[in-house]
Structure 1
Amino acid sequence: MTAYRLLALDMDGTLLTDDKLITKEAAHWIRLAEEAGVTVMFATGRGMQTAGSFWEELDLLSPMVLLNGAEIWEGPGRLHERTFLSREDIRKLHELAVVSGARFWGYSVESLTGSKHWSDEMFDRDWMKFGIHHQEIDVIEPLREKVRSWGHLEVTRSADTNMEISVRGVSKASGVKKVCGLLGITMDQVMAVGDQHNDMELIRAAGLGIAMGNADEALKRAADGVTDTNERNGVAKAIQKYIFQLDPSESQAG
């Protein structure tokens, strides 16, 4: 029997291919893991607006950690908690993005709204995560440092050219810890798989942290192991190797 009771999967660059698909091999091994008693969940920067269809596709009834931990679900249709940024911070982040000529977006309960559709009405909504993107590293990195200097926000990234902001202390790791509490297990019983900086804390906190073959190099160094890339069924191979103790080169999807 596997030592891991919970499998926490990042989505983009991890479970999903570059075309934003779940391969039949990944779906197959996720089903086998669940049949073996492992709870399989997402731990993603996505919100329900863009993650919900994949939850349904895999027919998962498990908890989910969305928006880098700002939204936690106990299961389909059962919200556990949401953590909102202050409206003052949303105004400051919006201004920072506009002045810098950066693209931005936010996740509220009502919507995923980007730069093109932002209006004054948006400042009256409650936002769980705000993102800023700029193609120039020399622009986005100082923006990250500026927001970090405010001292009360969590700043991470899912690509070198973006930043994702939530309330300080809110992360994928904090969300998965709360899911562990719901399930009556501990973090050493968690296997986590990811590819980017916003997976770092979770990869370090999990009993087993696995980086994708296409992962950020810093994440690979922090991880307990490295699997194949998202284009070469890295998640399926990680499940085979670490949950079922199989050699992925000798196993095929049914």
Structure 2
Amino acid sequence: MGIKLVAIDIDDTLLNPEGQLAGETINAIKKTIQKGVKVVLCTGRPLAGVTTFLNQLGISGDDQYVITYNGAIIETVSGHRLAQHTLDFEDYLAADKLSYELNVHYNILDDESRIYTSNRDVGRITVIQAAENDEGLFVRNPEEMPQDLTVSKIMFVDEPEVLDAQIHKIKETFDDRYYVVRSLPEFLEVLNKKANKGNALTDLLSELGLKKEEVMAMGDQHNDLTMFAVAGTTVAMGNAIPELKDVATYVTESNANHGVAVALERYVI
């Protein structure tokens, strides 16, 4: 049974260390698509933070899909939503309160990809995140926010050593109510319990009528583990965390050495 869908993480997997798509990766993905295989980008980013890469890869239309916000939203690349698992105003208030208690920067993304924080001293990582997502950064106090707010995800974003020092307390506070996952050394994400890459990929496979054996997943971080659990072939990047390499079918080259292209050549092209 051949591979009919490839699910690929973006940061530190699809993109090289400079945050760009290498020519080798673009060529391999275009060859994969030409063989009739769907390429689904699975990311913590919103659609706005993915569009540039979709355009470079030639992925478009209502019959191509992306999994965004770490699985909170499944949508076509043209923005038609198939499913979403989001948070609300009370969840936002809980994160805002904890941010100040622990002295960790935070932000939220609404369902239109806008980033909000009440941290007047906006963190360096939040500024970089906003620049990548291209939908704006808004500094607002809770009383300035609408109570019918739809929150795609909450993010504690800070220097790795800051998160390292507080991750236990954040998980202790939120683990029973939310899905909490470290997506990058600088990002600790808090999502709806049903929102993860694995659940989203399972829903998409059901929509498309595909079996686990027809799916390959590629990634590098903790938030890719759930995706690996529902794919028949799993590829960890050479720069991936040890936990992902331990459960992978294959460990490819790093993202600096075109690991995505190497894996696609091996298993699909």
| TM-score > 0.5 by shorter chain | yes
* Cα distance change on mapping 1:59 and 1:41 into 2, 3 Å: same
State which drifts further: 199-208 or 106-115: 106-115
Q: What CA distance in whole angstroms lies between the structure 2 residues aligned with 1:130 and 1:23? A: 30
* 2:247 aligned with 1:226: no
Q: Which residue of 1 aligns with 2:261?
A: 236
* 2:46 aligned with 1:22: no
Q: What CA distance in whole angstroms lies between the structure 2 residues aligned with 1:113 and 1:24? A: 34
Q: Per the alignment, in what secondary structure is the counterpart of residue 85 of structure 1?
A: coil
Q: Per the alignment, in what secondary structure is the counterpart of residue 165 of structure 1?
A: strand
> Which deviations, in whole Å up to 9, do the C-alpha atoms of 1:118-161 show, x marking residues without a partner?
3133353211111103433122233123211xx22111111244
Question: Which of 120, 136, 139 is the aligned partner of 2:166?
Answer: 139
Q: Which residue of 1 aligns with 2:135?
A: none
User: Which amino acid is the alignment partner of residue 115 of structure 2?
Assistant: L
> Which deviations, in whole Å up to 9, do the C-alpha atoms of 1:44-92 show, x marking residues without a partner?
1111121122112212131110001111113313222222213211110
Q: Which residue of 2 aligns with 1:183?
A: 208
Q: Which residue of 2 aligns with 1:42?
A: 41
User: Which amino acid is the alignment partner of residue 36 of structure 1?
Assistant: K
> Which deviations, in whole Å up to 9, do the C-alpha atoms of 1:13-59 show, x marking residues without a partner?
00011221111110101011111111001011111121122112212
The structural deviation recorded for 1:210 is 0.7
* 2:116 aligned with 1:113: yes
Q: Which residue of 1 aligns with 2:133?
A: none
Q: Which residue of 1 aligns with 2:154?
A: 130
User: Which amino acid is the alignment partner of residue 174 of structure 1?
Assistant: N
* 2:90 aligned with 1:92: no
> Which deviations, in whole Å up to 9, do the C-alpha atoms of 1:149-189 show, x marking residues without a partner?
xx221111112443111110211011111111222112221
Q: Percent identity?
A: 27
User: Which amino acid is the alignment partner of residue 8 of structure 1?
Assistant: A
* Cα distance change on mapping 1:10 and 1:55 into 2, 3 Å: same
Q: What CA distance in whole angstroms lies between the structure 1 residues aligned with 2:246 and 2:236? A: 9
CA RMSD of aligned residues (A): 1.6
> Which deviations, in whole Å up to 9, do the C-alpha atoms of 1:88-127 show, x marking residues without a partner?
1111012111221111122112312344333133353211
* Cα distance change on mapping 1:21 and 1:235 into 2, 3 Å: same
1:125-204, aligned counterparts within 5 Å?
125-135=149-159, 136=162, 137-148=164-175, 151-204=176-229
Q: Per the alignment, in what secondary structure is the counterpart of residue 56 of structure 1?
A: helix
The structural deviation recorded for 1:229 is 0.6
Q: Is the 8 A contact 2:26 2:56 kept in 1?
A: no
Structure 2: state its 5+ residue gaps.
123-137
> Which deviations, in whole Å up to 9, do the C-alpha atoms of 1:194-214 show, x marking residues without a partner?
000000111122111111000
* Cα distance change on mapping 1:77 and 1:138 into 2, 3 Å: closer
Q: Per the alignment, in what secondary structure is the counterpart of residue 157 of structure 1?
A: strand
Q: What is the TM-score when the length of structure 1 is the normalising length?
A: 0.89
Q: Is the 8 A contact 1:212 1:229 kept in 2?
A: yes
Q: What is the TM-score when the length of structure 2 is the normalising length?
A: 0.84
User: Which amino acid is the alignment partner of residue 204 of structure 1?
Assistant: A
Q: Is the 8 A contact 2:13 2:218 kept in 1?
A: yes
Q: Which residue of 1 aligns with 2:236?
A: 211
The structural deviation recorded for 1:225 is 1.2
Q: Per the alignment, in what secondary structure is the counterpart of residue 229 of structure 2?
A: helix
* Cα distance change on mapping 1:18 and 1:113 into 2, 3 Å: farther
